[in-house]
Structure 1
């Protein structure tokens, strides 16, 4: 089968009247070697059902279908969603029956009936973190993923405690999965060429952390809202006072003089568990 090259991408965009917009974070990959590398890095199993968010003109979609897995593609741009089946029928007619297109916003559509097991996507920079966390929260069938995001976002998602870029995305992703860096992607393989480098983030979901997710995420948000402050100070509002925050933090076996960037997701979960349900709900 044939994958999309630079000329194919431009011709498709011209035919559809597509002018890439910053609002939708549209940068289309036009290099066959890159999309094949992404598919290899995803480490897909033969029985994986792939969820692709933002397929755009279909470069990565074709590479995923070439690999042999069924693909459920979610596209927010109506003209792109309508054109994707036609593109696959033209470039990979033997795989057309493996493609399902869902027109809509990945943050809102219901994907339950499709039961995807692997997320593989070139995500728009402006919504990458919300999309990944939302899908992990709402699509329980997901067991692995490989996403292409802005390199800065890739660094944040995979950072560990103590890292300068460790923060809310790092900890919340760790609630659901174990993440890894899976390589860089140069700007030159995109059209239009972005002014930032991209990175690949791979993840494998785990059984989850033993605790209350909503309560834990509230502690994470509070700790990083004032990340330069100690936990005792940063969690004062959450706990009701700095003194109460210190009591709860110590009860969790954590030093209240630490900052949020030094804690694991398990640490945050233990802190959250120290509040009684009535307190936690406000």
Structure 2
């Protein structure tokens, strides 16, 4: 029976070699909570249960509930039937005492950004996250300053973590076969930049606004964001950033410096 549903962006994997290759990216500490978003038919989930202390899978598709519960009988497995965007990930992590916590997701295209931003919100509680996403999205998340596909998601992911493009997954590895190739990326979380910012969520929201119109210069975007061109000009002068640069030309350090100056102006 084909359980995949287009409305949930479902494409399932079953190749054992691919599954092991994905799991091997994780730290192999056995005392480990793994949160899996979108377990599908459970092929990856079964292998995770063999290696780690606790596996919590979050699945939105109620038609998969009976299948998953019948296929996976391990005592270290928990299934949450819910839209992941409605799940309190912090509370879930705190209710399971494990030495390490990682997240893994075969991410539906239509909510990729939302899932990643929700993961970044709880990054201080996580060791690592692994996402399977469309290849173009993976390239965007891993993009650096001055690359065309560099955007606010690139900045946010790299603010919280060391991002790695692990490998490409050919579309023929999935059932049903999607239209494009996918890729595996990993996010190894750190607090290097967090120590420079008092409110990281406010910083990420600020960066998102600066990317609202990528065609405009950083001066125009910053002026719109803080509602004053004069102050925006002053901030860019203080941070030694040229007015005619665009958001995709700025490094994470540049965004941090701009944000800090906007806060200084409010003190």
Distance 1:103 1:264 in 2: 40
Which residue of the partner structure matches residue 96 of structure 2? 114
Q: Is the 8 A contact 2:134 2:181 kept in 1?
A: yes
Which residue of the partner structure matches residue 262 of structure 2? 275
Q: Is the 8 A contact 2:54 2:76 kept in 1?
A: yes
Offset from partner CA, 1:66-115 (integer Å, 9 cap, x none): 334421111111222343121113xxxxxx01111111121121232236
Q: CA deviation at 1:199?
A: 0.2
Gaps of 5+ in 1: 1-9, 90-95
Q: Is the 8 A contact 2:107 2:131 kept in 1?
A: yes
Give the stretch that moved more between structures: 228-237 or 165-174. 228-237
Which of 167, 176, 181 is equivalent to 1:192?
Answer: 176
Q: Is the 8 A contact 1:81 1:102 kept in 2?
A: no
Gaps of 5+ in 2: none
**What is the number of residues matched between the two proteins?**
258
Q: CA deviation at 1:146?
A: 1.4
Distance 1:124 1:247 in 2: 42
Give the stretch that moved more between structures: 125-134 or 74-83. 74-83
Distance 1:194 1:110 in 2: 30
Q: Pick closer, same or farther for the CA change 1:245–1:215 going to 2, 3 Å.
A: farther
Give the TM-score normalised by the residue count of structure 2.
0.89
Q: How well do the aligned residues superpose, as a CA RMSD in angstroms?
A: 2.1
Distance 1:44 1:260 in 2: 38
Which of 133, 138, 149 is equivalent to 2:133?
Answer: 149
Indicate yes or no: 2:63 matched with 1:85: no
Runs of 4+ in 1 over 6 A off after TM superposition: none
User: Matched residue of 1:46: which SS?
Assistant: coil
Q: Is the 8 A contact 2:8 2:108 kept in 1?
A: yes
Matches within 5 A, 1:65-144: 65-89=49-73, 96-111=74-89, 112=91, 113-114=95-96, 117-138=101-122, 140-144=124-128
Q: CA deviation at 1:258?
A: 1.6
User: Matched residue of 1:45: which SS?
Assistant: coil
Indicate yes or no: 2:244 matched with 1:257: yes
Give the TM-score normalised by the residue count of structure 1.
0.84
User: Matched residue of 1:245: which SS?
Assistant: helix
Q: Pick closer, same or farther for the CA change 1:49–1:215 going to 2, 3 Å.
A: closer
Q: CA deviation at 1:255?
A: 2.5
